[in-house]
Structure 1
Amino acid sequence: MKNSHYKINFLPSEVTVDIEEGKTILDASYKGDLFINALCGGDGTCGKCKVILKSGKIDSMPTTHISAAEVKQGYVLACRTKVVDDLEVLIPEESRLDKSQILVSDYPQFPGSLAAVSLGAEQFKQNPLVSKLYLELSPPSLDDSMADYERLCQDIMVKTDIPLENLTTNFTVLKHLPAILRNSKWKVTATLGYRGPSVEVLEVQAGDVSANNYGVAVDVGTTTVVAHLLDLCRAETIDIEATYNSQIKYGDDYIQRIIHAEQHDAMDIMQEVLIEDINHLISTLVKRNKLSIHDIGAVVCAGNTVMTHFLVGLDPTNIRKEPYLPSVSFIPSLRAAEVGIKTNNQGLLYTLPCVGAYVGGDITSGVLAIRLDKAEALSLLIDIGTNGEIVLGNKDWMVCCSASAGPSFEGSGISCGMRAAKGAIEKINITKNFDVNYKTIGDTPPSGICGSGLLDCLATLVRSGVIDRTGNFQKGIDTDRLRKTDNGYEFILADKSETATKKDIVIMQADIQNLIRSKAAIYSAISTLIESMGMDINNIEQLYLAGGFGNYLDVRSAITIGMLPDISISKVQFVGNTSVIGAKMSLFSKDAYEVSRAIASKMTYFDLMNNNKYMEEYISANFLPHTDIEKFPSVVEELKVS
């Protein structure tokens, strides 16, 4: 009888996986904790999961993503190739998604982490969500017969001014309290957790261990998960670690993941893989800094609305269905163990509040980080990713919206696109003579081109005259870099002789149109939001760019292509990963945490889904930079358009 399980040996990692017949090579890679670059989540649409079959028989579906030359070399799509034999498979460099390549430097430490990133706003009082308080209690006597717990609470109240009626505890504390008090000779450390109107005595320990108070702030991103280990006594960031969000195996964007979870009854799995990522980060940080997991008393997470739902195990399916409602926007503090996060057994999990279905806690966190809620000047906060989230306002009012830019600037849907990792072209320039100069991440031979490089590429193509304002290649230009293929015209950015993959890195006509649609979605959201408030771009006094992609894009290029409005570059400020900064501020100070909740309550969500003005603006923005170029006077001068 034929064996229903087969062994897949993956090269160059030399990882062997046992997989049942009929599963795909992509399934086998996930089982072996090997991440292949499958941006579409295994739908066969992105063509990024190319692997080379070294030996064995397969059942592979035909695809246009594999060229005739690649077929001869043994290339197949991992997501479209079923296992029917023992196999040896090579994952080529361009298809590897290596966790070690994540750019932790994208998430810089901001000294102190309590002040706003740039506005110089007042610092929040250091008052962490979970604190430790050393107490020397008066022993009981016949003349002082107060019960043990009440005795503890009385001393806490005296030292902290917390009203007695606001103090609560858990049964574990009550059960072990008498022995701990007596064995420690009434000298103990109480761990206090802020839980809204109440403060919970989370734990009581013998002696003075008040200095061992740590927490973790987590940016739960769709693509990456970033964790900062914090010393809550000194209000300092100790260490940072990051990993890819393991949910990417189920889809590049969160809508794909919701659909996958619905179709495969996999809501629990979506939570499990995300929790595993967070636990891995916490464990790595704890071990590297020679701490105990018991020392971690609190975790604060900031993420978009869908990631927040997956994190705590809530069903996000209604977010993608009319009328696009989340299950909850303001999640109360939870026991971290309830969702599977490994900390102190009584440790607490806090999530930053969401505003709506498509504006989540990461944006609330960003507003907190730059203190836009205290700004005198009219300001814009823009976080550009698969979705572009935008906040407009100041201390008096704030409105926000979200536009689906698609994953083009994440590298998906682009022939040689890739995420920002080692070997990605991040900056590029094409001269008037059509020579190409570029810079890669890590200064290594190029493997592809990431978001900031794609934005630069689009801008420099139009500046050099390789493409016109519609995005079409100018066929008459004098260069061998522009060539016609079976799939249309393409422009060579890096010759195969200089690339890590030994393949040409090109940009195709279809790539350019995808990028134009993505930039149009961002611009039209910005312009619609501003115009709907009866204003124009000249009223904006400060523009903040947040997130990993926003932190590296060239503002001049973003204006040239019409992603950003024509605003003075002096008004633009990069503010880094404000999602994790706001989470840190909240963990360091319960006042900041409460402000985040006030911010979410104050922001008005502006729905673009059925907005006719947005659709009209989107169509007009599908030009470089725009159908109405007079909206971009600096680009008129740059391109010498009369």
Structure 2
Amino acid sequence: MRATRQDLRDWVHVQWVPDPIVRKHYMSLRAPTLQDPTGDVDRLIAELIRITPTREIIPENIKAPLRVLQRISHTLRETSFRLTAVVAQTDSHYELIDVRKGHDESDCLGLAIDVGTTTLSLYLVNITAGEILNRLVIENPQTIHGEDILTRIHFCQGPAGLETMQKLALEGINRGIGRLADSCGVAPHDIYAVSMAGNPTMTHLVLGLNPYHLCREPYVPVVSRPPLFRAKEIGVNAHPDAPVYVFPGLSNYFGGDVVAGILASGMHKSKDISLLVDVGTNAEIVLGNRDWLVVCAGAAGPALESGGAKAGMRATASAIEKIRLDRETLEPSFEVIGNRPPEGICGSGLIELVAELFLSKAIDPKGRFADHLDVPRIRTADGVKGFAVVLAEKGEGPKDIIVDELDIGNLLRAKGAMYTALALVTERLGVAFSDLETFFVAGSFGEHVDPGSAITIGMLPDIPLERFRVLGNSAGIGACLMLVSYGLREEVESIRRKAAYIQLTTDNEFMNRLNAALFIPHTNKELFPTVFHTR
């Protein structure tokens, strides 16, 4: 994999003040004399105080682990009292976590991790410059013991179950760290800070905490606001004393990934009302502004992540992510992630395909293919019609990729659940879709989805396209922000205080209204005027 530097400011929609969780300070110290026999560490701290612009560091609030104390005298004399001190912030003090020989001008590195149920997303960050040096998405190895959270919680109650789950997560994380470090020509030991966000269960499993009570009344986590850890305590392959910030959760239902996503969007600082939908294994919805935030969840995620189709796959290399059809011949043109031969279609690709089929009048509002069409790509197997996106016989790929009416039906159920949840939460709080200043779309799915196509099939509300902002992996970006601006932890606590949770899916009204949303785009045409105008 190749390193691809990107400025973090290009990824986020919020202003942040540079305040790295870890800094490197080069110092040239005066050698001790009979007239000045100050201790080596005391001498270093005194110089650190002198060169720190804000003068926040005082002798009483800086500490050093024994491992550093044991090395410092030798390092100073080996380098003629010239060294680089690596200093980390904590909530209560500063910590001298390493000393490097001479003037170390290398990047001060941090690692941001989005610990997802399905995938692990890792970002290697230059935390001084605010640059993402490279990123990597890999499958969460825990999936071999269960695709969903409840199965994994149950597995943890067996012999060595919890230890196995933690080991698998850390093996995946550390393998990813190795690949990222190699791509940038650095060593994992050079990573001086870690920021981590995940849902409550994933956070518990990475920390080796038993998630048993998360799924049993009264649904209590071991901890909602984890303290600052060191990498060696958890088993993350970084500098042993690297601080590890774990995003706190909102409740037993919503974890640090939601908090990190809100932080990345900046919606918690705006006077205008915004909505954030993060589609991962679940679809999480946040509505609000600087005065209030409401959070709820839906179950649309799994179907939308991989398309819910037989030829569906996650948004990884070889997945068709974008597609357009010739409105007369229905011949497709498409884009594949990684520019590789297509092996399947991801959720965003399926949404675009269904939207294109509907706009071409190849399928009706129920997702069924029109009988009058005589198009080579529409084929019938076992009495079910389908559309051949890729035909191996034409050399378009290694195998046929066909989306049939059953696949489309799965998508319609998923999009219907999402739209119904969006409609209910806004109406319950007296907010119209037209009141939304910004509609943020996030998650691995959100990174690839085309809002226009999502409106066409009735998954997202029919509002002006310029109001949509695609955040991508908002949890991962929020974790990056914490590395480069540790003062943002105060905003995190503000988010936690103002956020409230509401339950939707057990509501009878939800089930009643879901039926109307199972059509393209909806049974109420007035809700989607631009779709019918286009068609």
CA distance in 2, matches of 1:231, 1:433: 50
- Return the offset for 1:559: 0.9
Partner of 1:366: 261
Partner of 1:336: 231
> Is residue 178 of structure 2 the alignment partner of residue 283 of structure 1?
yes
CA distance in 2, matches of 1:484, 1:178: 78
Q: Which moved more, 1:387-396 or 1:204-213?
A: 204-213
Partner of 1:446: 342
Aligned counterparts, 1:71-470, within 5 A:
110-111=6-7, 113-114=8-9, 117-118=12-13, 121-124=14-17, 126-137=18-29, 147-158=39-50, 159=52, 160-181=55-76, 184=79, 186-209=81-104, 211=106, 213-262=108-157, 265-411=160-306, 413-430=308-325, 433=328, 435-441=330-336, 442=338, 445-470=341-366
CA distance in 1, matches of 2:188, 2:326: 55
Cα pair 2:391 2:397 within 8 Å, conserved: no
Cα pair 1:169 1:202 within 8 Å, conserved: yes
What code does the residue aligned with 1:383 have?
D
Partner of 2:389: 493
Cα pair 2:308 2:347 within 8 Å, conserved: no
Structure 1 residues 186 and 550 mapped into 2: Cα distance closer, same or farther (>3 Å)? same
Query: Secondary structure in 2 aligned to 1:626?
Result: coil
- Return the offset for 1:260: 4.0
Structure 1 residues 446 and 143 mapped into 2: Cα distance closer, same or farther (>3 Å)? closer
CA distance in 2, matches of 1:208, 1:483: 68
Query: Secondary structure in 2 aligned to 1:257?
Result: helix
Residue in structure 1 matching 2:483, options 576, 587, 606: 587
Query: Secondary structure in 2 aligned to 1:616?
Result: helix
Cα pair 1:253 1:407 within 8 Å, conserved: no
- Return the offset for 1:537: 0.7
Structure 1 residues 434 and 358 mapped into 2: Cα distance closer, same or farther (>3 Å)? farther
Deviations along 1:594-638, one digit per CA (max 9) or x if unpaired, are 423432333223333534443333343222222333222223334
- Return the offset for 1:216: 1.8
Q: Which moved more, 1:512-521 or 1:252-261?
A: 252-261
CA distance in 2, matches of 1:317, 1:431: 52
Structure 1 residues 242 and 419 mapped into 2: Cα distance closer, same or farther (>3 Å)? closer
* Relative contact order, higher structure (CA 8 A, sep 6+): 2
What code does the residue aligned with 2:481 have?
M
CA distance in 1, matches of 2:418, 2:6: 28
- Return the offset for 1:196: 0.8
CA distance in 1, matches of 2:276, 2:185: 38
Cα pair 1:447 1:499 within 8 Å, conserved: no
Query: Secondary structure in 2 aligned to 1:226?
Result: strand
Q: Which moved more, 1:612-621 or 1:269-278?
A: 612-621
Cα pair 1:428 1:436 within 8 Å, conserved: no
Partner of 1:577: 473
CA distance in 2, matches of 1:424, 1:179: 54
> Is residue 516 of structure 2 the alignment partner of residue 620 of structure 1?
yes
CA distance in 2, matches of 1:603, 1:194: 27
CA distance in 1, matches of 2:485, 2:31: 33
Aligned counterparts, 1:501-516, within 5 A:
503-516=399-412
TM-score normalized with structure 1 length = 0.75
Query: Secondary structure in 1 aligned to 2:249?
Result: coil
- Return the offset for 1:522: 1.5
What code does the residue aligned with 2:121 have?
V
Cα pair 1:190 1:203 within 8 Å, conserved: yes
What code does the residue aligned with 1:574 have?
V
CA distance in 2, matches of 1:211, 1:504: 49
CA distance in 1, matches of 2:333, 2:435: 36
Give the number of equivalent residue pairs: 531
TM-score normalized with structure 2 length = 0.88
Cα pair 1:587 1:593 within 8 Å, conserved: no
Partner of 2:527: 631
Query: Secondary structure in 1 aligned to 2:124?
Result: strand
Structure 1 residues 414 and 292 mapped into 2: Cα distance closer, same or farther (>3 Å)? closer
Structure 1 residues 251 and 462 mapped into 2: Cα distance closer, same or farther (>3 Å)? farther
Deviations along 1:553-589, one digit per CA (max 9) or x if unpaired, are 2222211211101111121122233222222221112
Query: Secondary structure in 2 aligned to 1:310?
Result: helix
What code does the residue aligned with 2:529 have?
P
Cα pair 1:537 1:565 within 8 Å, conserved: yes
Residue in structure 2 matching 1:566, options 452, 459, 462: 462
Identity among equivalent positions (%) equals: 36
What code does the residue aligned with 2:19 have?
N
- Structure 2 residues not aligned, in runs of 5+: none
Structure 1 residues 259 and 133 mapped into 2: Cα distance closer, same or farther (>3 Å)? same
Partner of 2:416: 520
RMSD of the alignment, in Å?
3.1
What code does the residue aligned with 1:629 have?
K
Structure 1 residues 455 and 326 mapped into 2: Cα distance closer, same or farther (>3 Å)? farther
What code does the residue aligned with 1:558 have?
A
Structure 1 residues 207 and 365 mapped into 2: Cα distance closer, same or farther (>3 Å)? same
- Return the offset for 1:344: 1.6
CA distance in 2, matches of 1:465, 1:392: 35
Query: Secondary structure in 1 aligned to 2:171?
Result: helix
- Return the offset for 1:182: 5.2
> Is residue 433 of structure 2 the alignment partner of residue 537 of structure 1?
yes
